[in-house]
């Protein structure tokens, strides 16, 4: 039902408004640049996975305007972001804050890489250890020789 609400809401107000509008822009280029950077990290709530900087939804426009007001009023970037998070929650942050519930998310990639790397090394070691004592069979020796032969002419060192 809420989907319907959002659908109707957005469809009624939709125009070709393409993200940031000229009228929204701040006169001060430095402030405007800061506003752009902040709004690229804030999620538009009624559109899925779009930042308010990219979105043409009405709500995104409102948040862009309010954000710029805060900056003009003298907020620092973190203060302006906190102002919006206080109303809509961490959900608006496209980069999830590092906190207890997101440790897994943030730590998984490096941990996965480390475990994978360790696993690969151990597997390589073990295979080398297993096969170490066994000498190459005659057939394998021939293979190796052939391999070296076919490989070397293409790769003059």
Partner 1 sequence: MTRKLLFALPVLLFAALGTYFTLALRPNYDPQALPSVLIDKPAPGFDLAALDDGARVATPGLSGQVTVVNFFASWCVPCRVEHPILMRLAEKEKLNLVGIAYKDRPEDARRLIVQLGDPYRRIGVDREGRTGFDFGVYGVPETYVIDKTGHIRKRFVGPLSPEVALKELIPLVRALEKS
Partner 2 sequence: MITEFGHFALIVGFAVALAQSFVPLLGAARGDAGMIGVGRNAALALFALMAIAMASLIHAYVTSDFSVVNVAQNSHTDKPMLYKVSGLWGNHEGSMLLWVFILALCGGAVATFCRNLPPALGARVLSVQGMIAAGFLAFILATSNPFLRIAVPPANGQGLNPVLQDPGLAFHPPFLYLGYVGFSVSFAFAIAALIDGKVDAAWARWVRPWALAAWCALTLGIALGSWWAYYTLGWGGWWFWDPVENASFMPWLAGTALIHSAIVVEKRDALKSWTILLAIVTFSLSLVGTFLVRSGVLTSVHAFAVDPARGSFILALLIVAIGGSLVLYAVRAPALAGGGLFAPVSREGALVLNNLLMATAAGSVLLGTLYPLFLDVVGGDKISVGAPFFNKTFVPLMVPVLLTMAIGPLLGWKRGDLLGALQRLWLAFVAAFLACLVAYYATSGGPVMAIVGFALAAWVGMGAIVEWAERVALFRVRPGLSLRRAIHLPRAAHGMTLAHFGIAVTVAGIAASAFDAEQIDLVAIGGAMRVGQYEMTLERVDRREGPNYLADEATFNVRRDGALIAVMHPQRRFFPLQERTTSETAIRTGIGADLYIALGDPDPQGRWTVRAYWKPLVSWIWGGALLMALGGMVSLTDRRWRIGVAVKARATGAAAVAAGE
User: Rounded to whole angstroms, how far apart are CA atoms 151 and 106?
Assistant: 44
Q: Which of 18, 26, 30, 90 is nearest to 56 (CA)?
A: 18
The CA distance from 78 to 122, in Å, is: 45
Question: How many C-beta atoms surround the C-beta of residue 34 within 10 A?
Answer: 19
Q: What is residue 47's DSSP assignment? A: S
How far apart, in whole angstroms, are the C-alpha atoms of residue 10 and residue 5? 8
At its nearest, how many Å lie between partner 2 and the CB of residue 109?
4
Where do contacts with partner 1 occur on this chain (CB under 8 A)? Answer: 1-6, 8-9, 12-13, 45-46, 59, 62-63, 66, 85-89, 91, 119
**Residue number, 74 or 104, with CB nearest to partner 2:** 104
Q: Which of partner 2, partner 1, none binds 15 (CB below 5-8 Å, type-dependent)?
A: partner 2
- Would you give the binding string for partner 2 spanning residues 60-89, x where CB under 8 A is met? -----------------------------x
- CA pair distance 136, 140, nearest whole angstrom: 6
Tokens of residue 152, six digits: 């070397």
Piece of the chain touching partner 2 by CB under 8 A; list 39-47, 57-65, 66-74, 76-84: 39-47
Choosing from 21, 62, 65, 103, the residue that interacts with partner 2 (CB under 8 A) is 21
Residue 149, helix vs strand vs coil: helix
Residue 157 lies near partner 2 (rule: CB under 8 A): yes
Residues lying near partner 2 in the complex (CB under 8 A): 3, 11, 14-23, 25, 41, 43, 47-51, 54, 89-96, 101-102, 104-105, 108-109, 112-113, 116-117, 120-121, 124, 127-128, 130-131, 139, 142-143, 146-147, 150-151, 154-157
């Amino acid at each position: 039902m809420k989907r319907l609400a959002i659908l109707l809401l957005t469809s009624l107000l939709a125009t070709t408004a393409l993200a940031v509008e000229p009228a929204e822009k701040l006169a001060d280029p430095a402030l405007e640049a800061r506003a752009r950077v902040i709004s690229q990290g804030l999620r538009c709530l009624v559109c899925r996975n779009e930042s308010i900087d990219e979105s043409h939804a009405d709500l995104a426009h409102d948040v862009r305007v309010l954000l710029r007001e805060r900056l003009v009023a003298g907020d620092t970037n973190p203060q302006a972001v906190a102002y919006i998070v206080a109303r809509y929650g961490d959900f608006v942050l496209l980069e999830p804050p590092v906190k207890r519930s997101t440790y897994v998310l943030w730590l998984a990639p490096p941990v996965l890489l480390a475990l994978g790397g360790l696993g690969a090394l151990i597997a390589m070691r073990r295979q080398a250890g297993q096969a170490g004592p066994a000498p190459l069979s005659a057939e394998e020796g021939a293979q190796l020789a052939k391999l070296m032969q076919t490989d070397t002419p293409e790769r003059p060192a």
